[in-house]
Structure 1
Amino acid sequence: MRMIGVVLLLCLPSLACAQQTEGQYDVRALGAKVGDLALSGVVKGSRYSVASRFETTGLVNALSGVWFQLKSNGRVQGDTFQPRNYIEEMDTGRRQSKERLTYSGGIARRDGPGSGRNSKHAVTDAEQKGALDPLSALFVVMRDQPAQGLCNLTQRIFDGKRLTELAMTRRTEAGPLITCHGIFRRVGGYSPEDLKRKRNFEFTVTYAPAGELMRLVEVRSDTLFGPATIIRR
């Protein structure tokens, strides 16, 4: 799920060229702001690292405060991300959790308690091989990138339990803006009841020029609870 940024032409041979993305976003649902999202990532040479944090705000926070922070790192080659480590920390107000995925040969392994495969709906190694962790997948979509690579993306995502697939299916342009249209699919790790409730979620991602690259300014997505929007500040 990734289109690598252009190499800066003026980088000196003795320096390591790096492309960095920083963003602060409002998350809105049901007509109101429900949270703040921050993302910071860098691609330097053949390696990348990214961190993100979300926390609820306003009435949602007062009723049920939730926050999570994610970190991921790995290698990048051509147009391909290869995660090495993924860490997820979460506090729902009722419980706290921390999970970690480590990768070998494109296959993720969960560390810590509950890392075994006890579910009858468990995803196999063959099914999840080559999938990105959730944060790496988010970074591929949300980072600054060249216009020519936008909207050409099909990528599976594995969070240690569930397997999904993101597919951008078409591209539209309105003046300087480029919008990618796509489908987010539940693939594995879900019960038949979950899949019957909803399997596919439509979304759009809109980018605006930022110097020589394009920068994400808005995401609109269907969810189990209705439409949701992420807007760059």
Structure 2
Amino acid sequence: MTESLRIAALVLALGAAMPSTASADRVEDKATFDVVIRGISAATLAFSALEDGNRYAVSGLLKSAGIAAMFRKISYTGTARGAVSGTRYTPSSYVEDSDNGKKKSTSKMTYTRGVPSAVQYTPAREGRDKDVDPATMGGTVDTLTALYAILRDVDAGQECKVNLKMYDGRYVSSIAIAKPQAKKDAVLCSGQYQRIAGFKPEEMAERTTFPFTLTYQPAGNGRMRVTEIAMETIYGKAAMKRR
């Protein structure tokens, strides 16, 4: 995972939005979120997704914004495709292009029956002793698929039902969201992002779990929409707020 996308994932465990349109076989979602760390605008995160029958496709864009962009411009674009059944996602391909302000890189993952079968990096990355074997990562999803699974609109009564294990070719982590609590028209969820494997020893020693809260608001037509995710991170208080 690129450093920029890792920060976004931490905020999760931490322009306008187009209303969803839904039919029996087709669902579309599109939204933009502002990423704020310690009260300072740090980035914007946008995604566009389509579920058609039992297939899904999602694209995402993360880029630095505000004061953060003045010091270091970073960007990430990604696409993911695969199969979906209820809340279960099985990726078939994932591609990301990133620019961390110092270098540009591309990574690709392909899957065979839900198991990552090939991981390619351009430029090539050196192997590390703690690298995770892709063949052991069956049942995981890529980071972009996980973001979509968390941020997508859902039917009322289906909030807070996310439990995913993520693998991006190097890092393994998980996100779980549960315990819905009604607050007037809103629904609040308790969540946790957890580092599992592939991280540096100092990262694991620093912290492995990141609790967060997620807020849904009515989106119309019996649907609920994520409007904010907030958490305490190693960088201070952080939030993602939907435009």
Question: Displacement, 1:191?
Answer: 2.9
Aligned ranges for residues 1-233 of structure 1 at < 5 Å? 8=23, 17-108=25-116, 109-113=118-122, 118-125=127-134, 127-211=136-220, 212-233=222-243
The question of whether the paired residues in 1 share the 8 Å contact of 2:162 and 2:176 is answered with: yes
Shift in CA distance, 147/115, structure 1 to aligned 2, threshold 3 Å: farther
Shift in CA distance, 145/198, structure 1 to aligned 2, threshold 3 Å: same
Q: Which structure is richer in relative contact order (CA contacts within 8 A, separation 6 or more)?
A: 2
Identity value in percent: 27
Question: Displacement, 1:193?
Answer: 2.0
CA distance in 2 between counterparts of 1:225 and 1:204 reads 17
Question: Displacement, 1:139?
Answer: 0.3
CA distance in 1 between counterparts of 2:121 and 2:210 reads 31
Q: Residue type matched to 1:102 in 2?
A: T
Deviations 1:1-46 (A, max 9, x none): xxxx9973xx6xxxxx311111011111111111222111111111
Aligned Cα root-mean-square deviation (Å): 2.0
5+ residue gaps, structure 1: 12-16
Secondary structure, in 3 states, of the residue corresponding to 2:241?
A: strand
Deviations 1:166-203 (A, max 9, x none): 11242211011111111110011123322111100111
Deviations 1:41-82 (A, max 9, x none): 111111101111111122211111111111111111233111
The question of whether the paired residues in 2 share the 8 Å contact of 1:6 and 1:146 is answered with: no
Shift in CA distance, 216/120, structure 1 to aligned 2, threshold 3 Å: same
The question of whether the paired residues in 1 share the 8 Å contact of 2:150 and 2:162 is answered with: no
Report the more deviating stretch, 173-182 or 219-228.
219-228
Deviations 1:98-150 (A, max 9, x none): 11111112222212457788322122346421111000000001011112222
Shift in CA distance, 121/56, structure 1 to aligned 2, threshold 3 Å: same
Report the more deviating stretch, 221-230 or 40-49.
221-230
How many residue pairs match? The answer is 222
The question of whether the paired residues in 1 share the 8 Å contact of 2:167 and 2:173 is answered with: yes
The question of whether the paired residues in 1 share the 8 Å contact of 2:106 and 2:122 is answered with: no
CA distance in 1 between counterparts of 2:41 and 2:73 reads 14
The question of whether the paired residues in 2 share the 8 Å contact of 1:102 and 1:111 is answered with: no
Q: Tell me which residue corresponds to 2:6.
A: none
CA distance in 1 between counterparts of 2:219 and 2:240 reads 18
Find the structure with the greater CA-based Rg.
1
CA distance in 1 between counterparts of 2:198 and 2:147 reads 20
Shift in CA distance, 117/61, structure 1 to aligned 2, threshold 3 Å: closer
The question of whether the paired residues in 1 share the 8 Å contact of 2:105 and 2:123 is answered with: no
